[in-house]
Amino acid sequence: MFKTQNWSKSTLSAVRFTVLLAILLSCFGVAQEETWVSGEVSSDLNAPFNFTGWEGPGEVEKWTMTFDEFFAANYPNVQQVGNTGVAWPDYWTTLPAQLSGGAPIDLVWMHDSRVQTFANNEWLLPLDDYLTQFPIPGWPDKFVPSQVAAFNYEGKQYAIPYDWAPGGLYINADLFAAEGIEIPTEDWTWDELLAAAQKLTKDTDGDGQVDQWGISNLASVGTGPGIIYWVVKSFGGDYWNEKITESRMNEEGTCAAMQFLGDLIWEYEVMPTADAVAATGFGPELLFANGKVAMHFALNDTASRFAELIADDFNWTVAPTPTGPAGRFQFVGGSAFAIPSTATQPQLTYELIRYTISNPEVLPRTADMGSAYTSHLDYTGFVLPQDSPIRDAYEQTFAVLGERDGVFPQYHPKFLEWESSVFVSVFDRLWTGEERDASVLCQEAHDLTNALLQE
């Protein structure tokens, strides 16, 4: 691990000189070009650099392009070994096993719902010493405050956020227009969403099978608790109390939210089952991109993929998620880069993270390629081209309402275990139709949650 006392006297003198020079140049109004390496790693380093993450083709390129540029300019002999596009559920089962076993992974994608678990198990390095000795430009004042805090555990920073991700509805505007339905607003209720979804769900070819659905991707097999927490809150429910000592899984609001989501699939048949999606040969995103879904729930960064997939096939836009009986809430979350405790090149990794999330020559491209709100606040305006036809709707749906109504569960070190062993295990039976009474499953989840929290 990188520590202050490991710095040589000559290195400390150089750092002090650099800081003094920066102050003097600032006083005389002279701009200083940012230095992206610390001098602690030899430019001739010849070693593998291992990294892993869940983002795959269509998303990971905005990072790998930056990685390529960084290494070519600073460490041309380093060999990048990437393992990306790991399926989300697989990532969170394999990565703990890898790190527990000492796998030499230098950089990992980290999520705000997982960092407490990883930090508590000492699978990640705290970054405070790095931040002190080689500060990230603008940190932390120029970064989304909630995301900075999200990756801080027990007073230590364990990851550097690279984005801020609100959720919303993607709308097939042509299908809406054909039925005379107005594009949803933030005042839309769940009842209005259901009524619209029922009108928009059709058997278009007359074979007796639905082949156009009103809505997709709100809940399905494997859906985690974080992604639908905003639905639970909108019905007045929650997962546990503020102290995270007692379950609230069996409360009326929580059960009502789960029942509504299940009913969209089984009672009203306006949201496709996992089997129905698989039968089309498409995934949920391609189902929408091929005009088979009128409303698709997804995060803001999905826009870049839809822009490419849909092209001019039909008119589409984005719109806010509904307001529930308990008010309006909206999914928000975010991801970050972290350094595992097993990293063989931690200082090099930190330099790469610093370059990737604060370089003004890189961030506009990152935002544009991924339709991503960067964690750096100065570059949120690059999230879409200025002439994008959905730009205004995108900003209102994701940025404005996400900041106002965004909500996420109280994450804690047992969350990862609870998600897989309790939430997904229990509620997958609702999404598959094995059990259609949500109150039965909520009581089961309630008992299991209390048992886990009180261990």
Q: Which of 116, 167, 160 is nearest to 375 (CA)?
A: 160
Q: Which of 390, 394, 218, 369 is nearest to 308 (CA)?
A: 369
Q: What is the pLDDT of residue 33?
A: 61
Distance between CA 364 and CA 376 in Å, rounded? 10
Give φ, ψ of 298 to 5 degrees: -165, 175
Distance between CA 116 and CA 412 in Å, rounded? 6
Q: What is the pLDDT of residue 29?
A: 40
Helix (H) or strand (E) holding 54: none
Tally the C-alpha atoms within 13 A of residue 397's C-alpha that lie toward its C-beta. Answer: 26
Give φ, ψ of 128 to 5 degrees: -60, -40
Q: What is the pLDDT of residue 15?
A: 33
Q: What is the pLDDT of residue 360?
A: 96
Q: What is the pLDDT of residue 367?
A: 95
Number of neighbouring beta carbons within 10 Å of residue 361: 10
Distance between CA 127 and CA 116 in Å, rounded? 14
Mean pLDDT in consecutive groups of 10 residues from the start of the chain, 455 residues? 30 36 39 80 98 94 97 98 96 97 98 98 98 98 96 98 97 98 97 98 93 96 96 98 97 98 98 91 93 97 93 97 98 98 98 98 94 94 90 96 97 96 98 98 98 94
Distance between CA 274 and CA 54 in Å, rounded? 21
Check if the beta carbon of residue 300 is closer than 8 Å to that of residue 166.
yes
SS3 215: strand
